[in-house]
Amino acid sequence: MFGPYVASPNDSRQTQTRICSQQFRQFYQDLPPIDTKETPLSGPRISVLKWLCEYVYSLTSPRYINLIFHIISTMINEKSFGENDLKYLCANFLEHQYLSIKKPHHWTAVFSLIHQVIEIVNYKTCQRLLICTLYKISDLPPTGTSAARREIKAMSRVIDRLLDREAPLLPAYISLNEIRQIFTGENMDPPCWALSRKMAQLESSFRPLASIITLKCKKWIFCILF
């Protein structure tokens, strides 16, 4: 189904994308939807999404990497994937062992795709993608480097959007809980300084509310001695 972008390299990207996305959509939508009640998840669509993820990470040419992600992005815009499809596909991309800043073309393409997806999925999927993204922060150098500027920026766009309290993507208290649970663990290093600013701003935004609650409920607060 992705043969046209290999077999006809002289065609325009728009032509290749149109042919590939049309073929994939016809094939994929004939498959039964993902049954989320199955544990572990299985079925034809799961197999196809696993294959797609492995195929993407097998690519080495920046041209083909950019083209295949452009095709996937087009299929998302055309609603070829459902909610559960996007959740599984994006989580697979983020949790894959080959997603590393040592593969910058894959890294930036994946996080650009995630930035697109979080705008159209529900908050539970956003929560899952936030968790996956936070765990990938450990792959970045703690102090940040100019060599990884592009990769840091791609991830930063996703985190900034998910933690934006003005954007109705994910309840802020859920984001804060996930951040605290992940980065207070013994085996988790502090996040890269370039990404920690938004996290600190999110936590600070709760302090006025916490102060009001403390003042108003002071007479009902009791110390507990052990």
Give the separation between CA 57 and CA 54, rounded to whole angstroms. 5
In whole angstroms, what separates CA 170 from the centre of its chain? 13
Q: For the chain, how many residues are written?
A: 226
User: The tokens 């039964």 sit on which residue?
Assistant: 32
**Amino acid making up residue 47:** S
End-to-end CA distance of the chain: 66
Average pLDDT, the chain: 80
Residue 36 pLDDT level (bands cut at 50, 70, 90): confident
Higher pLDDT: 207 or 200? It is 200
Q: What are the pLDDT digits (tens) for 126-179?
A: 999 999 998 888 887 766 567 778 888 899 899 889 888 787 788 887 888 888
The stretch 29-53 carries a mean pLDDT of 86
Give the separation between CA 28 and CA 71, rounded to whole angstroms. 14
Q: What are the pLDDT digits (tens) for 212-223?
A: 555 555 555 555
Residue 225 pLDDT level (bands cut at 50, 70, 90): very low
Of all residues in the chain, the percent with pLDDT exceeding 70 is 76
25: left (phi over 0), alpha (psi -120 to 50) or beta: alpha
Which tokens hold the place of 210? 């916490």
Give the separation between CA 69 and CA 148, rounded to whole angstroms. 21
Q: What are the pLDDT digits (tens) for 84-99?
A: 999 999 999 999 999 9
* pLDDT value of position 39: 74
Q: Are 118 and 158 in contact (CB under 8 A)?
A: yes
Taking only Cα atoms into account, the Rg of the chain, rounded to an integer number of angstroms, comes to 21
Residue 29 pLDDT level (bands cut at 50, 70, 90): confident
Q: Are 202 and 179 in contact (CB under 8 A)?
A: yes
